[in-house]
Structures are given as structure tokens and as C-alpha cells.
Amino acid sequence: DGGITQSPKYLFRKEGQNVTLSCEQNLNHDAMYWYRQDPGQGLRLIYYSQIVNDFQKGDIAEGYSVSREKKESFPLTVTSAQKNPTAFYLCASRTGTGASSNQPQHFGDGTRLSIL
């Protein structure tokens, strides 16, 4: 089945530790996105990428890093610089790269990150 796979489903981070959230898609989508969702709130954009080896900061990129070495993979690293990482993280992808494209984003099932 085609889709977006996020792993792990739950992740715990110790103080001062970097952790990496995985996002893989087999939809052959060009654009990929990472969002953060805090309880009872909407989604905020962390990073996005429209093509391999290119990515852009979203609204809340501080304390996070990404890479896009392969079309199907867009891992997110939550660094120790992110002082409040506890949240629900969602990865999304979309076909097409045009700025005017109105293709919907499709989402993975998310990763819940907590601090130990």
C-alpha cells in the first residue's frame, strides 16, 4: 500500500539528547513537510522540502534540523537546543512542486515525543 510511514510511534528523550524522527513515503511525492502539534492546538510548520537536497525553515525551525538525501525520506532531528520538545509530530507529503499547486498534503500517523 502507498503511504507515509512515521516511526517510532512514541519516543522519549533525555535531557541534552538529540533524537531523530523518521518519515518515509512511497507515494513518489516531491514535497515533504514536518509539523508540530501541541495539545488542543493546530499544526505549526517546522521544515519543508520541495526537492531532494533542498529544504526551507518553517515558522518554528529553531532547535530542529532535517535532511533530504532521498526523495522518499525526510528525517527530523530534535536537538538539545529545543528546550520544549514534548509534542505530537506529523510528517506530510504532496505531489507537485509548483508554488500554485493545490494538491492536498497527505499525512503520516505521527510520533509522540516526550521528555524523560
Coil, strand or helix: which one is 54? strand
Q: How far is the CB of 15 from other proteins (least distance, A)?
A: 26
101 lies in the site for other proteins, by CB under 8 A:
yes
Using CB under 8 A, which of 5, 109, 114, 115 touches other proteins? 109
Residue 97 phi/psi, 5-degree rounding, is -120, -5
Across the beta sheet with 4-7, what order do the strands follow? 4-7, 19-25, 76-78, 64-66
> The C-alpha cell of 110 is what?
505521527
**Of residues 27-66, which lie at the interface with other proteins (CB under 8 A)?**
31, 33, 35, 41-45, 48, 50, 56, 58
Position 85, amino acid? P
Q: How far is the CB of 80 from other proteins (least distance, A)?
A: 26
Using CB under 8 A, which of 29, 36, 68, 94 touches other proteins? 94
